[in-house]
Structures are given as structure tokens and as C-alpha cells.
Amino acid sequence: MQKRGAILVLSGPSGAGKSTIINAASEEIGDYYFSISTTTRNPRVGEKNGVDYFFVTKEDFEEDIKAGNFLEYAEVHGNYYGTSLKPVREALVEGKLVIFDIDVQGHRLVRAKMNDITTSAFITPPTLIELEKRLRARCTDDESVIINRIENAKSEIRAVGEYDFTIINDNIEDATRKFIIVAKAARLKQSREDEDKFITEWLA
């Protein structure tokens, strides 16, 4: 049987350790594509096309909007940012696990468009107090950004029931082990098309 791609959506507050977990699990979860945003802004020093963002012209971006090639997009300070479905579809055809690191609203959009091949996990520190401690320990954000991240986390935690799995990142090794199990389970999820084909062949 041809290997089919699958989608794994990860959400959770900034500071939950999502990137650390993905990196730690990368050798165990097979061939995957990490979805990155497309933007019309110019690359900053050190940024690479296809690694940090897909950098495109405004004309190309607007053509893709008309063609319905974005899961979601927004215009910020005169530049477009969005999640292009083109590289996602290509990765799925190649049989890869497509990983999204997006917010609760993004998860709902993915579910609306590609629910039958989507698995999701909400990754979070064990408590709000622990999250705040981690955000402050990073020393990368000023106070207003930290407060904003904490308020967003309070709002997003209420949507945890919309996800297939919850991974509590109290210990990075344990959280990574659970993430690997979830990623492997995501690959086993069959689309409606696969199920119908299997039933037809089984009954033949």
C-alpha cells in the first residue's frame, strides 16, 4: 500500500517547549515536513528562504489568495503573512507527516479543511505558574510581551478539550516520548478515502 501523508497539529503557549520536543524527537518520527509561513516581507539578516519563511512577491501572494491556496493569511504592517497549502499538499503526496505549530484558531481551520487526516496535541507546562517561570527564565521578552503571552495562554487552555491529546511538559524526556507516540499514531489515521477503498477491496 502506498504510504500516505498525515497532519499533526501542535498548539500550546509560547514557552511550552514545542520546538525543543520536535527537535528531540526528530530522528524517531520518520520523514516529516514542518509547516512554515509564507510572507511578502524582505528576509532579515541570516534568514533563509524555505527555512525561516517562504519569501514571495506581493503579486504571487495575491494570486495564491485568489486560488484558495492559503489555510489562513493576514496583512500586517503592509506585508502579507500566511500558511500556504501548496507545500503542505506536496509533503502529503510524498507521504510525509506534516507538523503545524499553530494557535487554537489555526487548529480549527485545519480541522475544517483536512479533518480526516488530522491529529492534534496541546502541549503545555503543568501549571500557569510554571509557564510564567519559564517565560521569565528565557530573558528574551520584555514585561509587556510576557504579560500578553500569559493572557493568551489563559484563553487557549480553555480549548484543550478540542485536541486529541494533551502533553504536559513537566519533564522534557517524558514529554518527548509521549510526542513520539502521538506522531506515530497520527500516521496510522486513515482518511475517509482510504477507509472507503479498504472496504471496497475487503469485500471484493
- 50 and 115, same domain (yes or no): no
| pLDDT given for residue 74 in this prediction | 86
| pLDDT given for residue 2 in this prediction | 54
- 157 and 105, same domain (yes or no): yes
| pLDDT given for residue 84 in this prediction | 92
Give me the domain span that covers residue 8: 1-31+97-204
Question: In the chain, which ranges are E strands?
Answer: 6-11, 32-34, 38-39, 54-55, 70-76, 79-84, 97-101, 118-124, 165-168
Dist CA 90 CA 86 (whole Å): 6
Residue 176: CATH number of its domain: 3.40.50.300
- 76 and 123, same domain (yes or no): no
- 109 and 73, same domain (yes or no): no
Residue 65: CATH number of its domain: 3.30.63.10
Segment 158-202, tens digit of pLDDT:
999 999 999 999 999 999 999 999 999 999 887 888 888 888 999
Last residue of a domain, one of 62, 78, 94: 94
Residue 12 near residue 18, CB atoms below 8 Å: yes
Query: What letter represents residue 108's amino acid?
Result: R
Grid cell 495562554 — which residue? 153
List the chain residues with pLDDT less than 50.
1
- 167 and 71, same domain (yes or no): no
Stretch (H or E) spanning 26: none
Closest residue by Cα to residue 104 from 124, 85, 86: 124
Last residue of a domain, one of 61, 76, 94: 94
- Number of C-beta neighbours around residue 43 at 10 A: 12
- 42 and 27, same domain (yes or no): no
